[in-house]
Structure 1
Amino acid sequence: MTTPYTYATTTPDDRYLDGNALAGILSNLLPGDPTLHECRCGTCHSTEPLARALVYLDCPGTVIRCPHCSAVMLQLTTTPTGTYLTVTADTTLRFPSKP
């Protein structure tokens, strides 16, 4: 069940993009439209599509935070040797089953 949506109030509005900014890079890593995959925050346990995540591009790599509590959920780093997707403690991504 999706939690009613509110942005985290402790996050400055001018520093982040929404999760749609992840579509390009994650489409190479995840099946289907990656912004529609549900992500459950390990801190506040809210579940939202990745499209609603707070995405910070001005970090070393890309940091994806929960839109409810602003906890770091994922980190995405691209290097010359590959792309690394780090999932923080107790955060989960759900990939829907094919019918």
Structure 2
Amino acid sequence: MANKFFSFLFSKQSLRYVCTTHFWGPVSNFGIPVAALLDLKKDPELISGPMTGSLIVYSLVFMRYSMAVTPQNYLLFGCHFVNELAQLAQGFRWSKHHFDAPKKIEEAASS
């Protein structure tokens, strides 16, 4: 089984794929969702709402683009799918911090 895997891994077709932008574009793009996932534990005060919204739209557009090109780029789709989930989580944290927290502060002050 390992022999079959390594023969596939080092075949001309696999090596040709690794030398294309269909591979290196998504690989280099994975820095965005990784950074967003690492930021999930940071203070929500540091989140930029407009930038998070832009990244949500950006990932949706490129998920669609990755399926529209020929050949379809599943690696790019996966990258932007992970980024979409991470940015939606960041957007939820941002909106909760900016719109829910002031209500809690007012309720605590009036009590």
When normalised by structure 1's length, the TM-score is 0.26
Higher Rg of the two aligned structures: 2
Hey, which of these two has a bigger chunk of strand by percent?
Answer: 1
- As a proportion of its length, which structure holds more helix? 2
Q: Which has the higher contact order (CA 8 A, sep 6+)?
A: 2
